[in-house]
Amino acid sequence: MRRCHKAKSTPACVKMVNDMHAEFWIDKWQKAEIGFHLEDYHPMLTRHWRTLGVGAGARVFVPLCGKSLDMIFLLRQGCQVIGNELSPIAIQQFFADQNLQVTSTTVSGITVYEAAGIRLIQGDFFQLDRQTLGSFEAVYDRASLIAMPPDLQHHYAEHLLALAPVAAPILLITLDYDPAEMNGPPFATPADQVTRLFGASFHIKMLERIDALADNPALQRRGLTALSETAWHLRPRDRASNHMGMIW
Ligand SMILES: C[S@@+](CC[C@H](N)C(=O)[O-])C[C@H]1O[C@@H](n2cnc3c(N)ncnc32)[C@H](O)[C@@H]1O
């Protein structure tokens, strides 16, 4: 994926990076190049979801959801799922694969697909507002933050925070590797980046880190010789206070 070489924080640069990023993903879905998609629940989700203490009936926001089966896992925990995804192909495949009866409505260019317990909003994450999204009690992010180039990751985190109710915890799953070995996506997202992005608003707890190289032959073929995968529990701080970020 190309990078913007202008000053990173200018709105024009952010828009350019986001437009390139959107084009890239729309194209990936059109060509069915979706090596990130798993044919089962993510094992870190099944191992750690209960850590968040989210009760049955809670609404869970799944940004950049693709057609992830993890949404089915969350439904089976009794949660209601609100997903967001750029590609209509991903959303339509999700409902078709799951044999779910779906209705859709389009208002001001945003299409919302609904089935029992699940609402998927098709459109650009950065265009979402709280009114469209509604309220939710927790966030599940696997391969969403790390799908963003570093130039966009802090905008992603800022926007997620703007959308999220103050008490919503996040289960975040990241990958890390030596960026000299491969260009993203997925983008290497080390612990200090997680702290930079979320440390002011959340207590950050590393739940598990595994060697993920053997499970990712496609990334080995792209040049990786080492790869770790980490699950993080982001527990909201009192947002009225202003502590510096730190890892528990
Ligand atoms: C690496 S995939 C991960 C999908 C899903 N979380 C999973 O675990 O399978 C990233 C997804 O984000 C979507 N995406 C990328 N940029 C987006 C944006 N700005 N708004 C909404 N979705 C976006 C892509 O179409 C793609 O399906």
**Tens digit of each residue's pLDDT (9 = 90 or more) over 119-168:** 999 999 999 999 999 999 999 999 999 999 988 999 999 999 999 999 99
Q: Is 11 within a domain?
A: no
pLDDT tens-digit map of 25-66: 999 999 999 999 999 999 999 999 999 999 889 999 999 999
- Cβ of 222 below 6 Å from ligand 1: no
Full domain range(s) for residue 49: 37-236
Rounded Cα gap, residues 112 and 62, in angstroms:
14
Our count of domains for the chain comes to 1
Q: Is 77 within a domain?
A: yes
- Cβ of 168 below 6 Å from ligand 1: no
CATH number, domain with residue 191: 3.40.50.150
Q: Is 54 within a domain?
A: yes
Helix (H, G, I), strand (E, B) or coil at 219: helix
Dihedral sign computed on CA atoms, order 189, 190, 193, 198: positive
Atom of ligand 1 nearest to the CA of 68: 9
Rounded Cα gap, residues 159 and 227, in angstroms:
28
Helix (H, G, I), strand (E, B) or coil at 236: strand
Residue 140 CA to ligand 1 centre (angstroms): 13
Which runs of consecutive H residues, i.e. helices, occur in the chain? 11-30, 43-48, 70-76, 88-97, 130-133, 150-163, 191-198, 217-221
pLDDT of the residue at 2: 47
Which one-letter amino acid corresponds to residue 139? V
- Cβ of 83 below 6 Å from ligand 1: no
Contact present, 167 and 147 (Cβ < 8 Å) = no
Q: Is 198 within a domain?
A: yes
**Residue of 15, 19, 23, 25 to mutate, ligand 1, most atoms within 8 A of C-beta:** 25
Q: Is 20 within a domain?
A: no
Q: Whose CA is nearest to atom 3 of ligand 1?
A: 143
For all residues of the chain together, what is the average pLDDT? Answer: 91
Q: Residue 212 pLDDT > 80, yes or no?
A: yes
- Cβ of 94 below 6 Å from ligand 1: no
- Cβ of 86 below 6 Å from ligand 1: yes
Q: Is 79 within a domain?
A: yes
pTM assigned to the model: 0.92
- Say which residues have a Cβ less than 8 Å from residue 87's Cβ, sequence separation at least 6: 25, 26, 29, 66, 122
Q: Whose CA is nearest to atom 16 of ligand 1?
A: 22
Q: Is 150 within a domain?
A: yes
Q: Whose CA is nearest to atom 4 of ligand 1?
A: 66
Q: Is 2 within a domain?
A: no
Helix (H, G, I), strand (E, B) or coil at 91: helix
C-alpha 176, offset from chain centre = 15
Give me the mean pLDDT over the 96-110 stretch: 92
Q: Whose CA is nearest to atom 6 of ligand 1?
A: 65
